[in-house]
Structure 1
Amino acid sequence: MNPLLLDIPLRFETERLILRVPRQSVDSSIVNQAIKDSMNQLKTWLPFAQTTPTVEETEINLREAYIKFLKRDGFRYLIFNNSSKDFIGVVSFEDVNWDVPKCQIGYWINTKQSGNGYMLEAVKSVTEIGFNLMKFRRIEIRCESTNLKSRSIPEKLGFRLEGTLKDADLSADGSSLTDTCVYAKLYKDTL
C-alpha cells in the first residue's frame, strides 16, 4: 500500500497525555519557550539545541515537520498534559523506510515536565501505533551511550540493545565522536 493512503491520526490520547501534530502558528511560541527553558539539558544531547532558536525558526521547523507528516516521511507529535494542557515535549518517527518497513523514534522533554513518566507513556503509545497502524516491522531508538535518561526509556519498554556503535556520531556540539546505542523492537516479538 502507498503510505500516502494510510490514515494516520493527527491526534490521539493516552491515559494522561494528548499527542497531536504541530499547529504551526499556534504552537511555535509554546515549543520555543520549552526549548529555552530546557536549553541546559538539551544542548548536551541534541544538535538543534546548540543555540537558542527564535520563535520564527521554531515555526519553520514545525512547518517542515508538518510537511514531512503529510508526505509520510516523518511523524512528529507534540505532547500535552491531558488535564492541565501544559506542553510536555516531542516524540516522533524519523528515518522512515517504507520498503522494510521500519523507523526510529526520537524524543525530547521540557525539563519542567521531566521525572513524571510522561515520555515513557508517549513512546509506549507511539510504538503501539507504529506496529499496529503503520505496520512497521522494526522500530529503533538510538541514543548516545552516556545519555542514561534517554536509554532508560527503550530499556523499560522492552526494546533490545542490539549493540553500541563506537565513534558512530558526533557529539551534539560537534566537538568529539560519541558511541551510539541501538535499541530495537520487532513487531514479531510483540505477538
Structure 2
Amino acid sequence: MFTYDIDDNLYLRLIDEGDCNAIYQLTNEGRDYLREWLNWVDNIQNQEDTMGFIEMAKKSFTENSGLHAVIVFRNEVVGIAGFNKLDQSNHIAKIGYWLGEGYQGNGIITKVSKALTDYAFNYLNMNKVEIRAASENVKSRAIPERLGYTEEGTIRAAENIYGVYVDHVVYGVLKKEW
C-alpha cells in the first residue's frame, strides 16, 4: 500500500474502494468548477462510475503503469494526484492532479507535486517528470513554474474539453536538474 507523508497535515495514499464516496462527493459537489479543465467530469454520474475509476487506478498501480492517490489534508480526502502515466522504458513520470474547489489556496497541489517529483526520482528511478496543463489554465500552470520545471513547448489542440480544443503546455524537469 502506497502512503507518502508530505507534512503534518498532508499526505498521499493509494486510492481504494473505501474512497469511493468521498471522491464521488468531491466530484459531484465541484462539478461545474472541475468541468472547466477536466474532460472526464460528465462521465462520473454516480458512485459506480467512481468505482470504475478506482478499479482502473488500482490496475495501473499493479501493472506499474500509473499511480493514483487520494490527497488527504487535515484527515479529509480533498482531491486526487499521482502519475497518470509511468513510462518505464523511457523513465518518464507524468503528474496529474485535481483538487476540490474549497481547498484552493493552501499550497496543497504545489506541495503534492513537489513530493511526487521527489518520489519519482528517489524511489521510482525516473529520469524525467512532466506536468501538462491547458495553456489558459493559469492556476495549474503556476505549479510547475513555481517548482522550477522548464516549459518545453505547446501541444496544439491536445485535448477536447466538451467541444473546445485546448492547447497543452508541457513542463519537464530532469533528475539532474532537481
TM range (shorter): over 0.9
Give the Å deviation of 1:88: 1.5
TM-score by length of 2: 0.94
Matched, 1:133 2:135: no
Matched, 1:114 2:114: no
Matched, 1:103 2:93: yes
Give the Å deviation of 1:177: 2.1
Corresponding residue for 2:22?
Answer: 30
SS of equivalent to 1:143: strand
Corresponding residue for 1:4?
Answer: none
1-structure distance, mates of 2:139, 2:114: 16
Give the Å deviation of 1:53: 2.4
Matched, 1:162 2:152: yes
2-structure distance, mates of 1:53, 1:113: 22
Runs (5+) with no aligned partner, structure 2:
none
Give the Å deviation of 1:144: 0.5
User: Is the 2:43–2:49 Cα contact (8 Å) retained in structure 1?
Assistant: no
TM-score by length of 1: 0.88
2-structure distance, mates of 1:37, 1:62: 19
User: Is the 1:10–1:20 Cα contact (8 Å) retained in structure 2?
Assistant: yes
Match of 2:33 among 38, 41, 44: 41
Give the Å deviation of 1:152: 0.6
2-structure distance, mates of 1:115, 1:163: 27
1-structure distance, mates of 2:99, 2:79: 4
Corresponding residue for 1:18?
Answer: 11
2-structure distance, mates of 1:103, 1:88: 23
Corresponding residue for 2:167?
Answer: 179
Alignment of 1:70-85 (within 5 A): 70-81=62-73, 84-85=74-75
Give the Å deviation of 1:51: 4.8
SS of equivalent to 1:105: strand
1-structure distance, mates of 2:171, 2:81: 16
Corresponding residue for 1:6?
Answer: none
1-structure distance, mates of 2:149, 2:27: 28
User: Is the 2:44–2:50 Cα contact (8 Å) retained in structure 1?
Assistant: no
Pairs aligned (count): 177
For residues 96-153 of structure 1, the C-alpha deviation after alignment (integer angstroms, 9 at most, x for no partner) is: 2111110210000011111111111111101100011001101111111000010010
User: Is the 1:39–1:52 Cα contact (8 Å) retained in structure 2?
Assistant: no
Bigger fraction of residues in strand:
2
Identity value in percent: 28
1-structure distance, mates of 2:51, 2:16: 9
User: Is the 1:87–1:110 Cα contact (8 Å) retained in structure 2?
Assistant: no
Aligned AA (1:75): L
